[in-house]
Amino acid sequence: MTKSEVLTVTLNPSIDKTIVLPELRVGSLNRTSEVRLDPGGKGINVARLLHEFGVGVTAAGWSGGAEGEALMGYLKRDGIAASFTPVQGRTRTNLKIVDSSKELTTEINEAGAVVTEAELAAFIRDFTLLLEDVSYLILGGSIPPGVPDTIYARLAGIAREHGVKTVLDADGEALREGLQAVPFAVKPNIHELERLLGRTLASDEEIVEAARELLGQGVSIVIVSMGEAGSIAVSGEEAYRVNPFEITVKSTVGAGDSMVACLVHCLLQGKGLRDIAAWTAAAGTLTASKEGTQLCTLAEVQEHVHRVEVHSIGVHPL
Ligand SMILES: Nc1ncnc2c1ncn2[C@@H]1O[C@H](COP(=O)(O)OP(=O)(O)O)[C@@H](O)[C@H]1O
Ligand SMILES: O=P(O)(O)OC[C@H]1O[C@](O)(COP(=O)(O)O)[C@@H](O)[C@@H]1O
């Protein structure tokens, strides 16, 4: 097995159950045209993609119950190194409903089972050992009940003590609190960024300005994703707007995680922000063209990256 350069943490992993309907009729009987199960959760998806990209990666978090065992089975099947701390509660199942006529995905994510103080302490012990020798830590997704919102700041702080850079992908208080530890990079979607800052971001200029507020706090790279409207990547010196290519959308689940994984891949390859902007956008877009929580491959990104449009946005260095 390749030595791990990256550690991903998924505190609230899931089995993603995708049901495809010809058309979602709320309040009526719906019959599925297709059902699929995939391993899910933000850090897990990042690990799946990085593994496919040939990056040494370990996935960590909590897992429990029959669903947790099934999840570990999927990761083993796919050859992904996994080190999950056991919990009494069962790993959640997240429902994704795809309306094929409208090309729309509706997500229903469970809160997840309660984690006890002893289970939290056991995880911190395991986590600290796993940090040895890795360069990047990915923290992604919601925080299960029982765990304080400050957990990401705590984990990012331990990572910094080990010389490990953190990439954070979270929402709400998990994002707000996580930012306190000044992660190296963050990838909010536009809604997460608007919630964080408490204001609507109506133009590219406003989004760049908002991203630069986070850079002002010490974050080095901010990538703001906006679904089919594309993405904006910003560092202290540069900013790029990326327009994705047209696809038939199958399921957008995992598109954001694919961007995070691609960001880390690019960082490990020493690529600059322009390439990061293009590669991450291509990865997200390709994943959105796949059913369920299926992710893009390295070969696909290499083949299609030239199709995204990248425009430089002039900024004054911070
Ligand atoms: N309908 C779509 N058409 C083309 N690209 C898409 C579409 N949805 C998502 N993407 C691509 O995936 C990226 C991430 O999607 P987004 O929905 O913003 O992330 P998240 O899953 O984190 O909310 C987008 O920036 C874009 O490049
Ligand atoms: O932890 P949360 O916020 O409930 O999100 C978990 C869900 O997000 C996913 O990781 C997908 O995330 P993205 O669509 O943002 O890439 C699913 O696999 C999982 O069901």
Is the shortest distance between the CB of 241 and ligand 2 below 6 Å?
A: no
Is the shortest distance between the CB of 244 and ligand 1 below 6 Å?
A: yes
What is the predicted pLDDT for the residue at 200? 98
Q: Report the alpha-carbon distance of residue 297 to residue 302 in Å, rounded.
A: 9
Q: Report the alpha-carbon distance of residue 287 to residue 253 in Å, rounded.
A: 8
Is the shortest distance between the CB of 112 and ligand 1 below 6 Å?
A: no
Q: Report the alpha-carbon distance of residue 53 to residue 50 in Å, rounded.
A: 5
Position 318 in a domain: no
Q: 151-161 and 172-179 helices cross at what angle (nearest 10)?
A: 30
CA 252 to centroid of ligand 1, rounded, Å: 6
CA 8 to centroid of ligand 1, rounded, Å: 21
Position 53 in a domain: yes
What is the predicted pLDDT for the residue at 315? 85
Position 237 in a domain: yes
Position 268 in a domain: yes
- Block means of pLDDT (10 residues each) for the chain, length 318 residues? 85 97 97 96 98 98 98 97 98 96 94 97 98 95 97 98 97 97 98 98 97 98 97 98 95 96 98 98 97 95 98 91
What is the predicted pLDDT for the residue at 11? 98
CA atoms lying within 13 Å on the CB side of residue 268: 21
Q: What is the CATH number of the domain that holds 221?
A: 3.40.1190.20
Q: How many CB atoms lie within 10 A of CB 61?
A: 29
Q: What is the pTM of this model?
A: 0.97
Q: How many domains in the chain? A: 1
Which ligand has the nearest atom to the CA of 14?
A: 2
What is the predicted pLDDT for the residue at 133? 85
Kindly report, residue by residue over 187-206, the tens digit of the pLDDT. 999 999 999 999 999 999 99
**Which listed residue (38, 99, 257, 275) is catalytic?**
257
Is the shortest distance between the CB of 94 and ligand 2 below 6 Å?
A: yes
CA 225 to centroid of ligand 1, rounded, Å: 6
Kindly report, residue by residue over 76-102, the tens digit of the pLDDT. 999 999 999 999 999 999 999 999 999
Is the shortest distance between the CB of 43 and ligand 2 below 6 Å?
A: no
What is the predicted pLDDT for the residue at 6? 98
Which ligand has the nearest atom to the CA of 74?
A: 2
Strand order in the sheet with 104-108: 34-40, 14-21, 92-99, 104-108
Query: Locate tokens 């990104």: which residue?
Result: 301
What is the predicted pLDDT for the residue at 2? 58
Position 317 in a domain: no
Among 258, 285, 289, name the best residue to mutate to test ligand 1's pocket (greatest count of ligand atoms within 8 A of Cβ): 285
User: Is residue 171 among the annotated active site residues?
Assistant: no
Position 18 in a domain: yes
The answer to whether the complex's ipTM is over 0.90 is yes
Query: Which residues form the domain of 43?
Result: 6-312
